Amino acid sequence: MLAFQHWMVIVQLLKLGIPYESIKTFTVDEINIIVASEMAIQQKQQEEQVRDLSSSQAKSSFGRGGF
């Protein structure tokens, strides 16, 4: 299971565009910072999408006399 998790992290970092040669030199702490940062960015983007969707739905309802 540990090997699977290791390679899942490697694949995640590669998808971010980080070269494998660089990944091999990172410490565990550096990898944790990169992964945590990426997760925070994704969460913020998802929250913005939800907010935008809610806003556009509210505007649409208002335009049809929903308010």
pLDDT digits (tens, 9 = 90+) for 14-57: 999 999 999 999 999 999 999 999 999 999 999 999 999 988 88
| Chain centroid offset of residue 64 CA | 35
Q: Where are the alpha helices (DSSP H) in 1-67?
A: 2-15, 20-23, 28-63
CA–CA separation, 13 and 23 (whole Å): 8
Give the pLDDT of residue 1.
79
- For the entire predicted model, the pTM comes to 0.72
CA–CA separation, 12 and 34 (whole Å): 10
CA–CA separation, 33 and 18 (whole Å): 14
Residue 13 CB neighbour total at 10 angstroms: 19
